[in-house]
Each structure stands twice: as C-alpha cells, then as structure tokens.
Amino acid sequence: MRPNLLASSVLFLAAVSQFVSGQAPFSVDTRLAAQNALFDDSWQANLKMNPTLATAVGDYRYNGQLGDYSLAASAARHQREVADLARIKAIDPTGFPEQDLISHDLFLRQFQQRVEDYDLKEFEMPLSASGGGGGIHANLADLPLSMPFDSVKHYEDYISRLHQIPRAFLQTEDVLRAGVNDHLVPVRFIAEKIPGQADGVIAANPFLLPLKKFPASFSDADKKRLTEEITSTVTNEVFPAYKQFAAFVTKNYIPYTRTTLSINSLGGGKRRYQATLRRFTTTDLTAAQIHNIGLKEVDRITGEMAALAKANGYNDLTSFRDHIEKDPKYQAGSAEAIVEDFRKYIAQMQPRLPELFNLLPKTAVTVEPIPPFQASAATHYQGGTPDGRRPGRVSVAVSDPTHRSYINDEAVAYHEGVPGHHLQISIQQSLTGLPEFRKHGGNSAYTEGWGLYAEELGKEIGFYQDPGSDYGRLRSELFRAVRLVVDTGIHDMGWSRDQVVEYMRNSHAIDEPTIQAETDRYISGPGQACSYKLGQLKIRDLRERSKRQLGSKFDLKTFHDEILSGGALPLDVLDARINRWIKAQLPAVASN
C-alpha cells in the first residue's frame, strides 16, 4: 500500500510543481479540480482505513471489516497524512470561492496538526480517555447498537466483525506494550477500571441484541442459522478475547501505569498539553489564560444564579439552592421517568425551531436509556446517517435513577437533542457543495460550543418556566466554566485529585457521583472539557458583534443559519466567516 501511495503523490506533485513555480498558468478551475480530487481521494482512503466510520456515515461497503488497530496501521495512516499534506500545500488557492478557500484551510490545518502530533505518540495510549469507559472494550460493545440490521447481508457483516474482535484485542495489546516501552501510559487508577468494565460487557452481553429484532421478512431458516452463528461466535471467540484482554491489562499493563496526573508528566514539557488544548479548542490560548477565563465565568454565572434566587423570593443563593436540590419533585423515580423527561423537552422544542432557524434538521431523533454495560457513561448524542435511515440518538444516563435529579434535564435535552447536537450535526450532514470531510468532521470547540449555546435558546423562546429547570440551566453552564478551571489545574498547575474534587464540590455545579466520575474523566482525557465554554463564548461574542454592527437589520434566524451552514469550523475560521457575512450586509444597511 505505502509504495503505491507515495508513487501517486510523487506524480501529483510533479503535475502541480509547474504551477507552483510559475511555469504554467493553471486556471482556478484546474486547481479547484485538483483540490476536490484530493479531498475525495483522502476521504475514500479514510473510510477504507476506518470501516466503523464508514458505517457511521451510512457507507456500508466495509461493513464486514472491523479495521486495523495495529502499530503498523498507525504508521500507514501517518504516511498517508504526510503525503496528503504535501498535496494540499502544492495547490495554490488564490481566486477560490469562499467555501473552497475554507475547505483548503481546514484540510491543511487538520493534516498539519496530525503530522505534527504524530511524534507525541499518543496513539500508544488507546485506553487513556475513559469518560465512562473509553477504549476498544467499550467501543466494540457498541457494535450491535451502531450497525444496520435490515438484511441478511448486514447480519453476516456483523458476524464477520465479531470474528475479528480477538485480532483487534491482540493488536491493541501490542500497542499498549509499545506505550509501556515509551513510558506513555495512563494514570493507574484509570487503567484499573478497564478489567471490570470488560467483565461488565461480558455480563451484559450486548452482542446478542440483534437476535431480538429480526426483520419480519427473514425466513425461519435464516433466523436459526444467524442465531447459531452469532451465539457461537460470541461464546467461543468474543468472550474469551475479552477475558484475555482483561487479564493482559491486569498483569502486563497496570503495573507499568503512572501515578502522576498531569499529561505533561509524560514528557515533552508543556508542549503535550498545549497541543491537546489546541486540538480541542482550536485556539492558541495558553492553559493559564483558559484557567483565568474559567474563574471569571464561574463568578459571573454564580452572580446570575444569585439573581435568580432573589427573583424567586429567596434571600441568598444558598437557601434557594438547598430548596431546589432537596425538593422531592425534582428527584427521579425511575429510569423510564428520566427518559420520558428528556423526550418531553425535545418534543416541546421541535415545533418552535422555525422561530430560531431557517435551516432545520431532516433526520429524526430518538431518546433511549444508556444500556447497563455502558452505565458509567454520561448522557450523549450519536449522529444518524445522512439518508435518514438511522436516526440520531440521544442516549440518557439512567443508572441508579433514584439518586438522580430532573434539575438539569431540560438544559441537557436541548444540548444533546434540539436545538443542540442533533440539529447542528443533521444540518451539517445535509449541506451541499462541501467535501465529505467537512460534512462528517468537526472539532469539539464548535460542536460542544454550539450545544452549550443551544441550552440558552430555550430561555429565549419562553421555556425554563420552572425555577428548578432555570436553575439547572445556569448550573449546567457553571459546570462547563468549572471544567476550564479544573482541567488546566490538573494538567498545567499540578492539582491533586483531592483539589479537583474540593473545587467542584464548592462550586455546587454537580452532584457527588458526577464529581467523582468527571474528575477521572479530566485526568484521563485532558483538554476536551475546555472546548464547551470557549466555543459557547465565541458564538455569543459573534452574535453580539453582529447585532452591534447590523443594528435593526440583524436577524437571529439568519445569523444561526450562517453559523450552521459552513459546518463545524475552527473558532478563528468561524470568526472570519461571520465578519465576512457582516461586511457583505453593511452596504445594504448603510443604503437603507
């Protein structure tokens, strides 16, 4: 594969080198065609190297393949990225239309970052970002929930993937050994959770779920054959592979894991964490700057909560908070009641979306409980397919339901469903005239920033009528501000786990079980938690700038459409896009 790849890249570079050196007048159309060919070539290679990604975006050509988890695969991807980076650099985008210029810039940045980050070798820590059980053991358990099962062929594809699970685990063990050799390992108490999580997958056995929902068109013979093959493969191959992997982690990995919390303790000075922050926030903000933004936001939001307390007849925030958090009406009674609460809020928002947007999602969204084998995961969204055949999914945390509260449900429903992730991602998938990597890619600062921004939109159209829900909205935002403080505290300022827990307790942003889980999440997966607030603040800033400069001509629906119609953009690119949008309207504004 690699010699052919490099040969094709050499030919491509030779073809465009004349233009780069000014020896031939390549037209805009010629260069655009070369760029689009590169985008398509790169996207198709990405799907082939990542079969589960292909499935996720509705391309089922590789449904029977699980992908390559080996070190060699990481090296091959790197070689591909080096070649694609050279190809995009060889294309002069002068004269390109706006969206094509943005695509050029995004592709260049994306591959530049990947190539620069490769020598940090963080791919040697595939179990590092837990967030409720991250890693191959959890991802493979989601296969029965993330594949299509509407034909016999799709069931056979699933069986083929099940057969490949032992190989995937063995490849991952080789990667983990390389991490041990390079001293690139997670914190010990994070790694110690992995064997128990693997045992939990075996106990829950999600792999048999497809047997419970055969299409009515299947013959009895097919049902019998598929049932026997899936059951046999799970029993004789999948479960032994999970047990072997858990034993490997226990005996050959955990003893070599680290006891220091900061990602910077892995070597490379502060470069490692700064690179992580840049990847997730798409900014060049330093850890110290992000920490200070967090502290200021905590103070501001706490002030808003105090004002809400007084508006509801309380003398201070403490007494209001105690009442809300202890009121029995906000205590969940069952897992089903929590799921229904989310469905209620998403349903009430759906018919109001035309008040906020011209662009609307075309794919349906469902709400479902997180299955028991993923019980420690937080509520999250998983996109549907662009053709709408598989809806988007809001998966709701329901474990230990009687100790959960309804307080944050309304805000989180808007964040994960509409007008948050489901609306944004569904619109992005349906955009026309963009290369595929922009329809299905993105960055956390934009997507999570939009989700957090979307929580407040419910307030603007008259929701959050219940004071508990309104308090929950502010508490949800406070939680994201707290993240800026503690993530940077851990990885840049040397905070201990106890310091993080104490700060979060004092903030009253989340309950005790969530504090414990989230602390481990930030230790395990640095940087991502900083993206929500920074993205939200940027979108808010762009909205205020647009209102200030456009005055009475400012239209919120059109502003939202402009934010969404370019797909998920780095924050500085989004800033430039909105500035162009404002500037394009200013002559018309002045003439009126």
| Torsion 107-108-112-113 (CA) sign | negative
pLDDT at 23: 42
Give dist(CA 442, CA 439) in Å, integer.
Answer: 8
| R_g of the chain computed on alpha carbons | 25
pLDDT at 513: 78
Q: Are 200 and 373 in contact (CB under 8 A)?
A: yes
pLDDT 10s digits, 309-331: 999 999 999 999 999 999 999 99
Angle CA 161–163–165, to nearest 5: 75
pLDDT 10s digits, 125-178: 998 544 444 789 999 999 998 999 999 999 999 999 999 999 999 999 999 999
Give dist(CA 85, CA 113) in Å, integer.
Answer: 10
Q: Are 166 and 240 in contact (CB under 8 A)?
A: yes
* DSSP string for residues in 338-384: HHHHHHHHHHHHGGGGGGT-SS---S-EEEEEPPGGGTTSPPEEE--
Helix or strand run (H / E) with residue 392: strand 392-396
- Put the strands of the sheet holding 380-382 in their side by side order: 365-369, 392-396, 380-382
| Residue at token pair 């205020």 | 544
Global pTM value: 0.92
Residues paired with 381 in a beta bridge: 394
Residues paired with 380 in a beta bridge: 395
10 Å CB burial of residue 157 (0-12, 13-18, 19+) is buried
pLDDT at 18: 41
pLDDT at 12: 46
10 Å CB burial of residue 331 (0-12, 13-18, 19+) is middle
pLDDT at 4: 43
List the chain residues with pLDDT less than 70: 1-25, 128-133, 588-592
Residues paired with 393 in a beta bridge: 366, 382
Residue 236 DSSP code: I
pLDDT at 516: 87
Number of H helices, E strands in the chain: 26, 3
| Residue at token pair 């159209």 | 461
pLDDT 10s digits, 431-452: 999 999 999 988 999 999 999 9
Residue 314, CA distances (Å) to 310, 317, 321, 475, 511 in order: 5, 7, 10, 17, 22
Give dist(CA 409, CA 82) in Å, integer.
Answer: 44
**Domain positions in the chain:** 2-120, 138-259, 275-533, 539-591
Helix or strand run (H / E) with residue 393: strand 392-396
Locate all alpha helices (DSSP H) within 62-191, ordered by sequence.
Answer: 71-89, 98-117, 136-141, 143-146, 152-181, 188-191
Tokens of 127: 């179990």
Give dist(CA 31, CA 470) in Å, integer.
Answer: 52
